[in-house]
Structure 1
Amino acid sequence: MSESAQQIGEKSQVILHFDLKLNDGSAVDSTRVNNKPAKMVMGDGSLTPNFEKCLLGLSVGDKKAFSINANDAFGMPNPDNIYHVDRTKFASDAELKEGMIMGFAQPDGSEVPGIIRSVAGHSVTVDFNHPLAGQDVIFDVEIIDVK
């Protein structure tokens, strides 16, 4: 196989290990925890375009870390994505705590994660921004295979 065939291009199938960390070094996500590398096809939507750009041109065996600013990673928090929900909309036995992430059913049957920001009386503040919105991240990758 020629070297160029092993370089990641726009339609490549890629198997990689990655660590996603905050600038303080705390781990957010990692494929190494369970030693299960991620499998993806470039352009399939598993990674945002800005994360995919980091991978273009890398080859099997490459290890590289990329610093991605908040705007290019998960965007900035949008105040329109924060809702005040009446406590009665939750199961009566649901234990709601600040910081917990819950799934909220959408009309189409899909689920969207929301972070409970506060519980005050009958009002529950739910943040539907990505949990990493507003955070700069480090995307640390190791390319296992490219097809």
Structure 2
Amino acid sequence: MQNAKQGDTVVIDYSVRTGDGTVVGDTKETGPQAIKLGDGAIFPQVEQRLADMKVGDQETVAIESDKAFGARREEMVIDIPRQNLPADADPQPGMALQAQQPDGSAVTLYVVAVDEQSVKADGNHPLAGEDLSFDVTLREIQDAA
């Protein structure tokens, strides 16, 4: 039985958990996912492990927060005055907003609190500061052409 290698497309099932065991993503709803090794579609640590696996193998890959979505940065939590939002905006906690940074690049902000004067939004990725654990099962290897 062959191992997966760079350039191959692999079909995997996975479950992603935070350090406290909370499942934050899996393929139960979506079904197995196809990933081309070397395309950067998944964390490099998972990709490296997949390259050593054979069909049917199951592995757990731990990824420390600094190698996942980075450390949580409190300076990324900002207050936005209501007058800076569109008049028809109805922000609610948990809602994602798109904003433009001074350099013109886009950033996603997540609403964490709302009051009459302002909206508190968090520019950190929701998993920033979290160690992650990927449980991966290799289902199929499609050789690179």
Aligned to 1:75: 70
Structure 2 length normalisation: TM-score? 0.79
Aligned to 1:20: 16
Q: Secondary structure at the match of 1:71?
A: helix
Q: Secondary structure at the match of 1:40?
A: strand
1:50–1:73 CA contact under 8 A, matched in 2: no
**1:138 and 2:143 are equivalent in the alignment:** no
Aligned to 1:101: 95
Aligned length: 140
2:80–2:119 CA contact under 8 A, matched in 1: yes
Q: Secondary structure at the match of 1:104?
A: strand
Letter in 2 for 1:32: K
**1:31-50 CA-partner distances (Å, limit 9, x unpaired):** 1123x211111121211323
Aligned in 2, Cα 1:92/1:77: closer, same or farther, shift over 3 Å?
same
Q: Secondary structure at the match of 1:97?
A: coil
Q: How does 1:10-89 map to 2 (within 5 A)?
A: 10-34=6-30, 36-89=31-84
1:92 CA drift (Å): 4.0
Distance 1:130 1:136 in 2: 13
Long gaps (5+) in structure 1: none
Deviates more, 1:52-61 or 1:15-24: 52-61
Distance 1:106 1:60 in 2: 44
2:79–2:118 CA contact under 8 A, matched in 1: yes
| RMSD of equivalent CA atoms | 2.5
Q: Secondary structure at the match of 1:53?
A: helix
Letter in 2 for 1:119: V
Q: Secondary structure at the match of 1:47?
A: coil
Identity of aligned residues (%): 29
